[in-house]
Amino acid sequence: MIYMKRLRMNKGITMKKLGELVGVSESAISQYENLKRRPEYETLLRLCEELGCSAPDLFRDESEIIKRDDDYYDLIEELQLLRDREDLRGLLRASSRQKPSTVKKVQEMFEAMEEG
């Protein structure tokens, strides 16, 4: 059983009610809980809000994190950062207009700042 189901049950919320709260069907909630389908980003945020947890925690096994597509979950965490920080959104907008080589140089500069 993944953590999402435990959180839902601990709150006394049915799959149908959780689906209504986040704007998806009961069937979709069941598929999320059984790892047969991934929620869209906005749905994921609403699930976390309703269940009071973070995105990575939502799909935890009771004893360990279930093997999953790390790129998907890394992207979710990055999107949450962008949602919460206007300065990072501005940086992303500015960098999207640059050549890849320029973006790479700026990235290397940031990495060098972290090291020293």
Cβ-defined contacts of 40-49 (< 8 Å, 24+): 41/76, 41/79, 44/76, 45/80, 45/83, 46/21, 46/22, 47/4, 47/18, 47/22
Q: What is the pLDDT of residues 29-41, one digit of tens each?
A: 999 988 888 899 8
Cα 54 to Cα 27, 93, 109: the distances in Å are 22, 26, 30
pLDDT tier, 61 (very low <50, low <70, confident <90, very high otherwise): low
Q: What is the pLDDT of residues 2-52, one digit of tens each?
A: 788 888 988 899 999 999 999 999 999 999 988 888 899 899 999 999 998
| The one-letter amino acid at 111 | E
Q: Which domains does the chain have, with CATH numbers?
A: 1-84 (1.10.260.40)
Average pLDDT for the chain? 83
CA 54 to chain centroid, in Å, comes to: 8
pLDDT tier, 66 (very low <50, low <70, confident <90, very high otherwise): very low
Would you say residue 68 has pLDDT above 60?
Answer: no
Strand segments, DSSP code E, in the chain are: none
Query: What global pTM score does this model have?
Result: 0.57
